[in-house]
């Protein structure tokens, strides 16, 4: 379709206005070509650092050529939405930690719906505009485009960071057929700091900006299926779902986070998980409880495996009844974690 009627200044103005309307805190733009981050992505796959996430290899073609998603693409609009809220006080007892991004509503659904409405409005306001939008689950290398557009720089923890503001940022992208002036990339703001590299409990970083997902606690507790090796189980500590260690020590994340979308504020019992309850609740009820939450991602067996693992690390004998119950679970990975935890007690 002809783009002759798409005035770049008006397109940018409309995108910024719609982004603000739907709660996005940051907007940047990058030229669609050359493709950002594909060389690093290929090396990640070639080295097998994606573990069992085979979908990363299967979705490589459109990541390498966004024209497979939108043949007329000229520009990628990168949007950022803050999600960081202050962590509720530690309740102690038999509880495990949940990564900050999963405390509230599932961002895939929430941001996905906002993007759908936003792009519909843009196409109505700008006849001739073509769009393709995605958040995380679509085959787009969001962090690479965030770096290319100047949304943030890529830190040594491989996350997009807005200097002195936040790395607690959901990233979304809109491919458009209008050619807009790209925003300028940022320089590196890590310097000699290596707090994130040194604090990682499992030594998942094989170098600055290079993550071996197979050792990452977020991967192990969310994406990985089946058993977790004993040496890594004991290093997950209290992390029940995901991990924020490399963000919590980053000096670019202030002690008092910037205001974030209230939909991502911690729901009761979601920042600190009652591990006995997880093990004693039947699988179906567990999934119903986490309806609309990212915590559903590992499924009931993954959640119970994680709960048993954390109880083993806590070493509190009060967990014995729940672990004995988990030892009878039909899934082998749950039974294995329960036996491992009981041995540690």
pLDDT tens column, 10-48: 999 999 999 999 999 999 999 999 999 999 999 999 999
Gap between the Cα atoms of 333 and 302, Å rounded: 8
The pTM (predicted TM-score) of the whole model is 0.95
CB proximity list for 265: less than 8 A, separation 6 or greater: 85, 103, 104
State the Cα angle at 330 between 327 and 335, rounded to 5°.
30
pLDDT at 1: 45
The number of residues making up the chain comes to: 345
Provide the pLDDT confidence category of residue 258 given band limits of 50, 70 and 90: confident
Gap between the Cα atoms of 168 and 238, Å rounded: 20
pLDDT, average across residues 175-202: 98
pLDDT, average across residues 60-80: 98
Mean pLDDT, the chain, as a whole number? 96
pLDDT, average across residues 97-111: 97
Asked if the model's pLDDT at residue 4 lies above 70, the reply is: no
pLDDT at 216: 98
A 10 A CB-CB count for 200 gives 20
pLDDT at 175: 98
Residue 65 annotated in active site:
no
pLDDT per residue over 301-341, tens digit each?
999 999 999 999 999 999 999 999 999 999 999 999 999 99
pLDDT-above-70 percentage for the chain: 99
pLDDT, average across residues 146-164: 97
pLDDT at 255: 86
Gap between the Cα atoms of 144 and 281, Å rounded: 40
The domain segmentation of the chain, as residue ranges, is 8-86+103-176, 195-344
User: In sequence order, which ranges of 177-274 are alpha helices (DSSP H)?
Assistant: 195-199, 217-218, 230-233, 245-248
Phi, psi of 218 (to 5 degrees): -60, -45
Gap between the Cα atoms of 217 and 228, Å rounded: 10
Provide the pLDDT confidence category of residue 3 given band limits of 50, 70 and 90: low
Provide the pLDDT confidence category of residue 163 given band limits of 50, 70 and 90: very high
pLDDT per residue over 260-287, tens digit each?
999 999 999 999 999 999 999 999 999 9
The residue annotated as part of the active site, out of 42, 136, 263, 283, is 136
Three-class SS of residue 29? Answer: strand
pLDDT at 96: 98
CB proximity list for 266: less than 8 A, separation 6 or greater: 85, 87, 88, 103, 104
């Amino acid at each position: 379709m002809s783009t002759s009627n798409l005035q770049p200044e008006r397109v940018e103005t409309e995108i910024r206005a719609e982004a603000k309307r739907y709660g996005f805190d940051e907007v940047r733009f990058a030229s669609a070509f050359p493709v950002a981050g594909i060389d690093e992505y290929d090396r990640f796959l070639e080295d097998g650092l994606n573990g069992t996430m085979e979908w990363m290899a299967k979705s490589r073609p459109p990541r390498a050529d966004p024209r497979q998603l939108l043949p007329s693409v000229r520009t990628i609009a990168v949007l950022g939405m803050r999600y960081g809220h202050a962590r509720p006080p530690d309740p102690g007892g038999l509880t495990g930690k949940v990564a900050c991004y999963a405390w509230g509503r599932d961002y895939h659904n929430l941001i996905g719906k906002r993007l759908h409405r936003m792009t519909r409005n843009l196409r109505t306001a700008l006849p001739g505009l073509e769009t393709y939008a995605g958040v995380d689950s679509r085959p787009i290398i969001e962090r690479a485009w965030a770096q290319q557009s100047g949304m943030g720089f890529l830190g040594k923890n491989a996350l997009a960071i807005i200097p002195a503001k936040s790395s607690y940022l959901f990233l979304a992208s809109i491919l458009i057929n209008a050619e807009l002036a790209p925003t300028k990339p940022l320089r590196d703001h890590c310097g000699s700091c290596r707090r994130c590299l040194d604090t990682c409990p499992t030594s998942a970083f094989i170098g600055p900006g290079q993550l071996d997902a197979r050792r990452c606690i977020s991967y192990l507790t969310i994406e990985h299926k089946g058993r977790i090796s004993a040496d890594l189980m004991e290093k997950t500590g209290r992390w029940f779902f995901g991990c924020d260690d490399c963000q919590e020590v980053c000096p670019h994340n202030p002690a008092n986070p910037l205001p974030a979308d209230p939909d991502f504020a911690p729901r009761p019992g979601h920042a600190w998980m009652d591990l006995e309850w997880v093990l004693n609740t039947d699988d179906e009820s567990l999934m119903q409880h986490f309806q609309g939450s990212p915590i559903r991602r590992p499924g009931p067996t993954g959640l119970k495996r994680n709960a048993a693992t954390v109880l083993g690390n806590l070493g509190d004998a009060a967990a014995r009844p729940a672990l004995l119950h988990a030892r009878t679970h039909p899934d082998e990975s749950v039974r294995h974690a329960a036996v491992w935890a009981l041995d540690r007690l």
